[in-house]
Structure 1
Amino acid sequence: MQNVYRLIKTIVCFTSLLVLTPSIRAQEISVSEIINTEKMYDLHFTAAKRDSMLNQLKANLKLYQYLHGFNLPNSVPLSNWFDPVLPAMTFNTKQQAITWNIPERLAMPADTNQLAFYTIPQLASLLRHHKTTSVQLTRFFINRLKKYGDTLHCVISLTEEIAIEQAKKADAAFAKGIYKSPLQGIPYGLKDLFAVKGTRTTYGTPPFKDQVIEEDAFVYQQLEKAGAVLIAKLSMGELAMDDIWFGGQTKNPWNLQQGSNGSSAGSASATVAGLVPFAIGTETYGSIVAPSAVCGATGLRPTFGSVARTGGMNLAWTSDRIGPICRNAEDAALVFAFIHGSDTYDRASRTMPFNYTGTVDLKNIKVAYAKNYIDTLPGNSAEKAVIKTLKDAGVQVTAIDFPSNLHTNDLLTTIWAAEAAAAFDPLTRSGKDSLMVQQWQSRYPNMLRSARFIPAVEYLTVCRLRYMVMQQAFPLLSKYDIIIVPSMADEPMALTCLTGNPCITLPAGNAAAGNAPPSITLIGGKLYSEAVIAAFAKKFQQMTTYHQQHPPMFSN
């Protein structure tokens, strides 16, 4: 990281010398080219104004050519960081101790294949009471990855050597009675956009297929401190879009004819299929929510900035987040408890309390549902069934109109596209984007090229409109602890990506033949309310058994 900051300092120091650099030659820019360009930007200038602009536009071109000479790596941070906190917001800042319910008397199953779908506390119990070892558990899950990974196209790299070393350390700690966390000795998978020394970090796309970043990502370091065991780098849609990567399309474990959705494709698929106890995903716009919904996982998308992104691929600096993908809400809470926090490099990150108790008072919690998205659904929809289950349990559920006229999708995709184009500027200009698998118009090669024509003025205007949207949404969202929305509804997801609010996505019905269970998403009406939404999701899962369903073809 120090090299990155030296590079930034170099840029600042030499920018003032641009006019004195004879090697930079600006192409001639004509008035007719200005006229043609105006059409793309909804502008119109007079002939005199165009003539006055020529010299400045030529100077700008010199600057662009100078900047392109740096080929900034993806790791160089943005100096302007996004903060989701509005002036009127207040928060508890004291972290309380969390007590995790680790079963005391749990025997090894007669059929060890059942371990594939044990919860994290169950696995932790077996390890703490010496019913199995971390090495044995690690080899068990590595064997499942080897057996089913190609079927699901969900594994980019096995990290077997790292895993066995970490598992041996965990077993040594258990032998001495040292318990770092309930994650100690538990295998897991990372979405393959996080750097881990000695491994490839491919971003799921051919241009970076052999990339090795000799750095350990923050989230990996957090899990290492907790004693967890990395067994695989899991597939992702290339550059974090969709479920297609250079190894194929990641499959839905419930139906191999379907994709898993993305971009945390392998994280959701592998977790639901019981190839890992949990995995880490990321989201810019739907990349935790969508694959969790499609595959039947429980995915927690935290408040923006809750987990430092250092060592992870930058896609959109003001929107990217990191979160756990698990098979139940308590597991998601447990993983989040040990990965959340800030560091000095990700200036948008913030360490906030996660005071998870695992329980909520159903009579006092404030719950709403988005009637403009749910009331028009069929009477037997999962969303309506969830609301009925909650009402039958004594929860007062208020119908609200969720904001749907704020053009949040357009605002978010513009910010995402502009920032992604900057993050992958060298890829586009080198022409190596032609090596990417997905070449159709709606995918990254074309999106990144097109985004080069988003003016800086319009990008900043969109960012300012984002702040207005945050201010408009806050009075409504903050009235409720939980807001129920359909998982795949674009506008609620886009709005809460803009505002930074957390959400949890979980199974909400019975699986039909060839399909995953239907899904629901619970939005936290307040920032940093992960403890509340996870506990509420756990309560719902205690009322139902939807999260206990597993895809039949991976159950043995």
Structure 2
Amino acid sequence: MNGKVGGLHDLELAEVATLLRERAVSPVELTRHMFGRIRALDGRLHAYARLMEDEALQTATQAEAEIAAGRYRGPLHGVPVAVKDLFWTRGTVTAAGTTVFADFVPDEDATVVRRLREAGAVILGKLQMTEGAFATHHPTLVPPVNPWGAEHWTGASSSGSGVATAAGLCFAALGTDTGGSIRFPAAANGLSGLKPGWGRVSRHGVFALAPTLDHVGPMARSVRDVALVYAAIAGHDGLDPTSLPDLPASPARADIAGLRVGVDPAWNARGSDAEVLAGCARMLDALAEQGAEIVELALPESWHIAGAWELLCGVQTAVAHARTYPARAAEYGPALARLIDVGRAADAMTYHRAQLDALDYTGRMDEALARIDLLLAPVQPFAAPTHERLAELAQSPELNQRLIQYTAPINVSGHPSLVLPCGLTAGGMPLGCQLIARKGGEATLLRAGAAVQAVTAWHRTHPPL
């Protein structure tokens, strides 16, 4: 091993995996290098809630010995990754961005954490997140900082996952998405991120926000990397009876000739600014150049679904926090407390009507997606807003509804979605768009994303650190 690890933090996971497999790089040296980078940068980025340095170095030492002995486990073996502080980690605090759970130390790993360990990944630590995976960070905790621009949003609950991966503080991260919280930080930080279909990844050992809306998935620098992590964590889990039995297929090929990609110009343009629409147009052009057929269609109305998301989420969040709220309400931040209050105040008939509307919308989306292979849409109507703009959005229910209009309905329907970088704004901030597939279409999403990234370089742009 040559011991030269400087600069490797900017590589894709798949690239560093090859170096580890070929023993051109030592897992121990690489892990030490990553902790050095974290110490150098995270004092201002605040991506990590806590580090797991001793455990990570033990894992890296084991990985190095196994690889040297010819017992290579696969592409995650010896690769430094990190997980959102929503996932149980045996023996390490899992606070879920709260103070009320600040002393919770699980006695087992979440299933996805266990599967990462079984794949040989080196878990560097727990990543910071919004309180309870809702909208904002607890007021007593320091939120992560967007490495592309400190004055801009990091993208909701999986904020630390997005910042750490973009800044080269890990090679991939796990996040969760209840209303857009894999897709928002992926877009805001210039990453690729997969929200798998509901049930494709186990939720055992994951703090709940709203179980019927919660999705677990990976964020990384390329679709190829996302696919590698997804293949390791997905599949049925006996500890989660809602998880689906079939294992995912990784994109063995990137040929998308003849793939039907749908677009609803009116839906995409609803309040979206010119830079977002230009990014979507660039992605459509790249797909078409690779042989995809672009098909216009009219999607079912979804504005009312985005409007009902808070009610659907709030009721389930109130149930998830029933043991600590309202008993310890003083320890909650205002945003999460307000959401729980919305849920506690809801009447059964209103909630049931919202559920029926959700079922109707899901069926209509199933029908629309059955006519195409993929749907292209914005992630949000504008690039990552400034904190000042975000505060304005928070004060207006209609503006906040507009923020989640392209993400929350896809949580309600449970369809898989993949975020891809598609350029930069005039101010140098990342732009992302999303591809949405029918249920079970994760492999198609990954294949299309890999095809685009084989001929474009948007995903290879790094923040100016």
- Normalization by structure 2: what TM-score? 0.90
What does the per-residue CA deviation read over 1:237-294, in whole Å, with 9 as the maximum and x for residues that have no partner? 1110235244312111100122312100000000000100000000111010111111
Report matched runs for 1:188-227 at 5 Å. 188-227=81-120
Report matched runs for 1:274-293 at 5 Å. 274-293=168-187
**How far 1:517 sits from its partner (Å)?**
2.0
The whole-number CA distance in structure 2 between the counterparts of 1:197 and 1:386 is 41
Contact 1:188 / 1:277 at 8 angstroms: preserved in 2? yes
Q: Which residue of 2 aligns with 1:48?
A: none
Contact 1:360 / 1:535 at 8 angstroms: preserved in 2? yes
Q: Which residue of 1 aligns with 2:457?
A: 545
Corresponding letter in the other structure for 1:519: G
Instruction: Identify the range of structure 1 (485-494 vs 325-334) with the bigger mean alpha-carbon deviation.
Output: 485-494
Classify the secondary structure of the residue corresponding to 1:324: strand
Contact 2:290 / 2:452 at 8 angstroms: preserved in 1? no
Q: Which residue of 2 aligns with 1:391?
A: 288
Q: Could you tell me which of 382, 391, 407 is aligned with 1:493?
A: 407
Contact 1:289 / 1:299 at 8 angstroms: preserved in 2? yes
What does the per-residue CA deviation read over 1:82-102, in whole Å, with 9 as the maximum and x for residues that have no partner? xxxxxxxxxxxxxxxxxxxxx
Q: Quick check: 1:316 aligned with 2:230?
A: no
Report matched runs for 1:67-78 at 5 Å. none
Corresponding letter in the other structure for 1:382: G
**How far 1:423 sits from its partner (Å)?**
0.4
Q: Which residue of 2 aligns with 1:460?
A: 352
Corresponding letter in the other structure for 1:378: A
The whole-number CA distance in structure 2 between the counterparts of 1:374 and 1:411 is 20
The whole-number CA distance in structure 2 between the counterparts of 1:385 and 1:222 is 36
**How far 1:486 sits from its partner (Å)?**
0.5
Q: Which residue of 1 aligns with 2:401?
A: none
What does the per-residue CA deviation read over 1:74-121, in whole Å, with 9 as the maximum and x for residues that have no partner? xxxxxxxxxxxxxxxxxxxxxxxxxxxxxxxxx9797x4320111122
Q: Which residue of 2 aligns with 1:449?
A: 341
Q: Quick check: 1:182 aligned with 2:72?
A: no
Contact 1:412 / 1:497 at 8 angstroms: preserved in 2? no
Q: Could you tell me which of 331, 338, 359 is aligned with 2:225?
A: 331
With over 3 angstroms needed to count, the CA separation of the structure-2 counterparts of 1:184 and 1:151, relative to structure 1, is same
The whole-number CA distance in structure 2 between the counterparts of 1:250 and 1:133 is 30
The whole-number CA distance in structure 2 between the counterparts of 1:529 and 1:222 is 22
Contact 1:243 / 1:259 at 8 angstroms: preserved in 2? no
Classify the secondary structure of the residue corresponding to 2:133: coil
**How far 1:164 sits from its partner (Å)?**
1.1
Contact 2:251 / 2:446 at 8 angstroms: preserved in 1? no
Q: Which residue of 2 aligns with 1:63?
A: none
With over 3 angstroms needed to count, the CA separation of the structure-2 counterparts of 1:386 and 1:468, relative to structure 1, is same
Contact 2:198 / 2:416 at 8 angstroms: preserved in 1? yes
The whole-number CA distance in structure 2 between the counterparts of 1:118 and 1:310 is 31
Q: Which residue of 1 aligns with 2:274?
A: 378
**How far 1:351 sits from its partner (Å)?**
2.5
The whole-number CA distance in structure 1 between the counterparts of 2:133 and 2:251 is 33
Corresponding letter in the other structure for 1:182: P
Q: Which residue of 1 aligns with 2:315?
A: 418
Q: Quick check: 1:530 aligned with 2:445?
A: no
Q: Which residue of 2 aligns with 1:355?
A: 249
Corresponding letter in the other structure for 1:174: I
Q: Could you tell me which of 403, 411, 420 is aligned with 1:506?
A: 420
Q: Which residue of 1 aligns with 2:34?
A: 141
With over 3 angstroms needed to count, the CA separation of the structure-2 counterparts of 1:450 and 1:375, relative to structure 1, is closer
**How far 1:196 sits from its partner (Å)?**
0.9
Instruction: Identify the range of structure 1 (343-352 vs 238-247) with the bigger mean alpha-carbon deviation.
Output: 238-247
Q: Quick check: 1:172 aligned with 2:65?
A: yes
Q: Could you tell me which of 348, 361, 365 is aligned with 1:469?
A: 361
The whole-number CA distance in structure 2 between the counterparts of 1:544 and 1:289 is 20
Corresponding letter in the other structure for 1:164: L
Contact 1:500 / 1:527 at 8 angstroms: preserved in 2? yes
Contact 2:9 / 2:171 at 8 angstroms: preserved in 1? yes
| Structure 1: gaps spanning 5 or more residues | 1-106
Q: Which residue of 2 aligns with 1:158?
A: 51
Classify the secondary structure of the residue corresponding to 2:81: strand
Q: Quick check: 1:253 aligned with 2:147?
A: yes
The whole-number CA distance in structure 1 between the counterparts of 2:269 and 2:110 is 43
Contact 1:297 / 1:326 at 8 angstroms: preserved in 2? yes
Q: Percent of pairs identical after alignment?
A: 29
Q: Which residue of 1 aligns with 2:160?
A: 266
Q: Quick check: 1:478 aligned with 2:370?
A: yes
Corresponding letter in the other structure for 1:192: D
The whole-number CA distance in structure 2 between the counterparts of 1:133 and 1:359 is 30
Contact 1:197 / 1:213 at 8 angstroms: preserved in 2? yes
**How far 1:337 sits from its partner (Å)?**
0.3
Q: Which residue of 2 aligns with 1:342?
A: 236
Q: Quick check: 1:114 aligned with 2:7?
A: yes
| Structure 2: gaps spanning 5 or more residues | 382-403
**How far 1:185 sits from its partner (Å)?**
0.5
Classify the secondary structure of the residue corresponding to 1:484: strand
The whole-number CA distance in structure 2 between the counterparts of 1:485 and 1:204 is 30
Contact 1:242 / 1:265 at 8 angstroms: preserved in 2? no
Contact 2:256 / 2:447 at 8 angstroms: preserved in 1? no
Classify the secondary structure of the residue corresponding to 2:151: strand
The whole-number CA distance in structure 1 between the counterparts of 2:410 and 2:188 is 20
**Structure ranking higher on relative contact order (CA contacts 8 Å, 6+ apart):** 2
- Normalization by structure 1: what TM-score? 0.76
